[in-house]
Amino acid sequence: MAQKKCRSMSEWANDKNGPICKPCIMPVLISWYETELEDQGRKDLADKLHKAKMKPSATPEGIAVMLDNIKTQIIPNNRLYQKLIEFDCLCQEYKE
């Protein structure tokens, strides 16, 4: 399967001119990430993400950086990595 081309999540989250409300869709994306990470045996990363999103100071931009960092801890081109990239691209392509 060819890897989709989309921006990093931090770049996307910092784009204030995009067609989507980042705080509105970020909970859905976080849920997808948490579920997929747990299903693929990366509960350690899912737990870190869960803790980060629960902080009162959590912002879409900060969470997006964390999502990008999570992908650096996974071997590129394996199933989990590809799934997370697909989530990112779907989120970025979504139109309200």
What total number of domains does the chain contain?
1
pLDDT in tens, 35-72: 999 999 999 999 999 999 999 999 999 999 999 999 99
**pLDDT class of 5 with cuts at 50, 70, 90:** confident
pTM for the model: 0.86
On whether residue 80 sits in a domain, the answer given is: yes
CA distance 38 to 51: 14
On whether residue 9 sits in a domain, the answer given is: no
pLDDT surpasses 50 at 88:
yes
On whether residue 79 sits in a domain, the answer given is: yes
DSSP per-residue letters across 43-75: HHHHHHHHHHHHSTT--HHHHHHHHHHHHHTS-
pLDDT at 7: 92
Residue 50, domain extent: 15-93
On whether residue 3 sits in a domain, the answer given is: no
